[in-house]
Amino acid sequence: MQALAPTTPEGDEPLSEVFLQLNETDFPKRYLPKGPNGERLSLPAPARLTIGNEGIKIDVIAPEDRGGYYDSDYEPPDFEDNPPLISMSFRKDKILGLIVGGRTRWHPTALLVIADPTGVDQGFTLTFESTDSNNPDWHIKKLTKHVREQLGVKIEQVGPSPTEAEDVPF
């Protein structure tokens, strides 16, 4: 059995990157960044979170203009396809917390809480969902580990932990 290396078997994905789906945010539309060609954020969308010692960079795949419809064989772009990205970065002193333990109907979620730069509200949230079909909880655990260890950000657990949820006797 081969041990896990610090990167994927292909060697191109650092462990500080987490791939999730950005489902929603309560940031006012005016404060959201645009893509390189003026694309506006359209959710849900694939997201890549890169966690470093100074903060988090979030890249979201910009929506493709497909003439208002999708072919039945349409495959949305992946990060490997080098699509246009909408990027946002948050310094660690602006990250108020990470809330884990929530779920959509089928998948685990994580809410990243960011300080309101205007001071009107305490903060805004970005809600991420792990849609991996093999082990969705792993991606949320990976995000939690890196946010805690690299940024020292407060982690809040809500609801039952994944192991408690699996121990239901029926």
For the stretch 94-120, pLDDT in tens is 999 999 999 988 899 999 999 998 899
Give every CB contact of residue 20 below 8 A, 6+ residues apart in sequence. 47, 49, 110, 128, 129, 130, 131, 139, 140, 143
The pLDDT tens digits of the residues spanning 10-36 come to: 555 555 899 999 999 999 988 899 998
Residue 139: exposure state from Cβ atoms within 10 A (0-12, 13-18, ≥19): buried
35 is a domain residue: yes
114 is a domain residue: yes
Q: What is the CATH number of the domain that holds 116?
A: 2.30.29.30
User: Which residue segment(s) compose the domain that 143 sits in?
Assistant: 17-64+76-161
What is the rounded distance in angstroms from the CA atom of residue 106 to the CA atom of residue 116?
A: 30
70 is a domain residue: no
2 is a domain residue: no
From residue 60, alpha-carbon distances to 2, 33, 106, 162 in Å are 32, 10, 22, 27
Give the residue carrying structure tokens 């006797």: 169
102 is a domain residue: yes
pTM of the predicted model over 0.85: no
The domain total for the chain is 1
121 is a domain residue: yes
Share of the chain above pLDDT 90, in %: 64
